[in-house]
Amino acid sequence: MKIVVDSMGGDQGVKEVVQGSIAAANELGVEIVLVGKKDIIEYELDKNNYHGNKIEILHADEVIQNDESPSIAIRKKKNSSMVVGLNSLKEGVGDAFISAGNTGSLLAGGIFLVKRIEGIERAAIVSLYPTKSGVSILLDAGANVDSKPEYLEQFAIMGSVYCEKVLGIASPKVGLINVGTEKEKGNILVKEAYSLLESANINFYGNIEARDIPEGVVDVMVCDGFVGNVILKLTEGLGQSIFSALKEEITKNFSSESSTLFLKPEFEAFKQRFDYREYGGAPLLGLKKPVIKAHGSSDALAFKNAIKQAKIMVEEDVIDKIELDINIVK
């Protein structure tokens, strides 16, 4: 098995990508194709004393920046690490592609180059959401901000397959994010989606309210991309804000910095629960090959875990299973 990794996309530089890839090659038994500027990648491999035969380099001159228009960048920058990587995936050089680069470009490139699975109307971004009871997945996390009920139905099916195959949850519970739990609640979109989900071949739990998200009452949370994006960003913002407010209170009342030091291990253990690096990246589901968006600030550990996640997606034939389940429905 060969995983193609975009070496240029992360905020933390090539170093972290290379270190994560070395760890993955050594520990997971996968081969890695590092796409990007050859001399920089060679330099980093050397610095880390890697002389094995499980990592190869695919040279790409350009880099897509975060402020570029996604679809224009994909069309114009044919020598960018992202486009070269996606094309190598398409041509069968590797089995999966990982990039920490611009989400919009990766999505546009995935749809344009790797293409959608037959029968899939829209690709979705899947976010792994840490909960009280473990981890749930949420989709769509922002790819489709004007969804139709049929998209939500497909998100539910794709999410179920991912959850079962990659997270190992048998018959995962699928919930529809809504303003109330009763069937008749919601806007036009979710009301129509509810009927579709009821008759889909999934373990449909019903509606869930946003207050239940952190509890992990379901395994797969389905929503429109606008709502999904709001949920993820609010979770991030509130986590930081509650955390710093509490720290401030404690520091204020103990009137010394020692209190913060004193509580440090507790805060760290707490933060660990919400550490995205442990969960891998965000898969883009609905494409013909596995494509994973790694967090922009991914370090070596995060890249290694994203590679592990890609490996499971390939081993478990997630794409074929999605294609099967989507087309059974029709």
Positions that interact with its own copies (CB under 8 A): 132, 142, 145-146, 177, 179, 186-188, 190, 209-215, 225-227, 229-243, 245-246, 249-250, 253, 263, 265-267, 269-270, 273
Smallest distance, its own copies to C-beta of residue 107, A: 13
In angstroms, rounded to a whole number, what is the distance separating the alpha carbons of residues 165 and 290? 13
Smallest distance, its own copies to C-beta of residue 297, A: 14
In angstroms, rounded to a whole number, what is the distance separating the alpha carbons of residues 24 and 308? 7
Q: Residue 36 or 104: which CB sits closer to its own copies? A: 104
Smallest distance, its own copies to C-beta of residue 191, A: 9
In angstroms, rounded to a whole number, what is the distance separating the alpha carbons of residues 19 and 16? 5
Cis peptide before 325 (omega within 30 of 0): no
In angstroms, rounded to a whole number, what is the distance separating the alpha carbons of residues 51 and 33? 15
Q: Residue 238 or 328: which CB sits closer to its own copies? A: 238
Q: Residue 249 or 320: which CB sits closer to its own copies? A: 249
Q: Residue 78 or 273: which CB sits closer to its own copies? A: 273
Overall residue count recorded for the chain in this entry: 330
Q: Residue 119 or 296: which CB sits closer to its own copies? A: 296
In angstroms, rounded to a whole number, what is the distance separating the alpha carbons of residues 216 and 297? 26
Smallest distance, its own copies to C-beta of residue 292, A: 21
Q: Residue 119 or 239: which CB sits closer to its own copies? A: 239
Smallest distance, its own copies to C-beta of residue 104, A: 10
Smallest distance, its own copies to C-beta of residue 140, A: 11
Smallest distance, its own copies to C-beta of residue 232, A: 8
Q: Residue 270 or 297: which CB sits closer to its own copies? A: 270
